[in-house]
Structure 1
Amino acid sequence: MKRVIFSMVIIFSLAISAVTIYSQIASGGSYALTQAVVSSGGGQSSGGTFGITGTTGQQAAGTTSAGGPFDVHGGFWQGDLSPTAAGVSISGRVLTPDGNGLRNAMVYLSDRTGLTRMTRTGSFGYFRFDDIEAGQTVILSVHSKQFHFTPQLVNLTDNSADIDIISSEPNRQ
């Protein structure tokens, strides 16, 4: 959770600095643009061969005018700021019906996009998946020659540890 907040603060800071850099004073030739705050939202700036006029409500919001060495985008807009979900991890154990860890079982993790990852359990039945997008529900399923397992749904809002996947019965051969 702290990573998500930290990431959002960084993204917001970058957006503010980008807007600040974008709105710096520019001058050259026979014109000069100066920064001004007009309380009603209207104002005019002109010189040389161009003019820029702002109105309250920006009736032409979202339009772009271009020509020569400049372009103007009028209206209220926001840059593409979308939060990125931090990667979380999920770990646990695959257990036999009597509670022993199951070695070399294949654990599959399927996410909402259909992407499936696989890992094998260690000698005591432990498994781990890292860098999974937070905020989604994933399916954990286990395949073993010896035991049958029911797939589990896990809602990932943060790191999930100590997930036990316990076999309900041995496989029938």
Structure 2
Amino acid sequence: MIKFNFQVVGAAGTSSPLTFTDFFFNEGGPFDPIDVTVNGLITIVPASAAAASLSGRVVAQDGRPLPRIRVTLIDASGDVSQAISSVFGYYRFDDVQIGQSYLLQASSKSYLFVPKVVTLGDELNEIDIIALP
């Protein structure tokens, strides 16, 4: 196995040339790169963010769980995920990207809710959504 560092030229979705020159093994003499290496390209991919889950409860002002409330999570690109609260008011979103900000909102014919902006850390739980009086 060979470990090496190199300078990436270009942005995600492009390719960066990889050219070997003055190649040395273990501080020995130079080898002709043509004899021992093959030049090529490295495709640059965007860094993948880790994912976590975002969950919590939808409750009334008195703390009573609110079932069957539609909870919506919208990312900065406008992508929408939805969940329905359980009988006990719980909702959950899986595979949410860490470090991103999201708009979290609930909707119902019977209750009003204030949307929240949430920035996801390693694991966010118990983000309660409380109905307005």
TM-score, normalised by the number of residues in structure 1: 0.55
1:139 equivalent among 103, 114, 133: 103
Go from structure 1 to structure 2 and tell me whether the alpha carbon gap of 1:16 and 1:83 turns closer, same or farther (over 3 Å shift). Answer: farther
The reply to whether residue 102 of structure 1 matches residue 66 of structure 2 is yes
Partner of 2:32 in structure 1?
45
- What count of residue pairs does the alignment treat as equivalent? 115
- Aligned-pair identity in percent equals 30
Alignment deviations for residues 18-41 of structure 1 (CA, whole Å, 9 cap, x no partner): x9xx99xxxxxxxxxx9526x8xx
Runs of 4+ deviating beyond 4 Å: 70-73
For residue 143 of structure 1, what is the amino acid of its counterpart? Answer: S
1:102 to 1:16, Cα distance in 2 relative to 1, 3 A:
farther
Q: Please say which structure displays the higher CA radius of gyration.
A: 1
- Structure 2: distance between partners of 1:45 and 1:103: 71
Higher relative contact order (CA 8 A, sep 6+): 2
**Selected match of 2:48 from 72, 84, 106:** 84
Counterpart for residue 131 of structure 2: 167
- The 2-side partners of 1:16 and 1:80 are apart by 18
Residue 111 (structure 1) aligned with residue 75 (structure 2): yes
Q: Deviations over 1:114-173 (max 9, x none)?
A: 10011100001000000011110111100011110000011102111011110112xxxx
Mapped partners of 2:45, 2:3: distance in 1? 11
Distance 2:50 2:102 in 1: 16
TM-score normalized with structure 2 length: 0.70
Decide which structure has greater strand share: 1
> SS where residue 161 of structure 1 aligns?
coil
- Unpaired runs of at least 5, structure 1: 1-12, 24-33, 53-69
Counterpart check, 1:36 vs 2:24: yes
2:14 — aligned with what?
Answer: none
**How big is the alpha-carbon RMSD for the aligned residues of Structure 1 and Structure 2?**
3.7
1:45 partner letter:
D
Instruction: Give the SS at the match of 2:67.
Output: coil
Question: Distance in 2 between the 1:100 and 1:128 partners?
Answer: 18
Counterparts of 1:95 and 1:142 in 2: how far apart (Å)? 11
Structure 2: runs of 5 or more not aligned: 7-17
Distance in 2 between residues matched to 1:123 and 1:16, nearest whole Å: 54
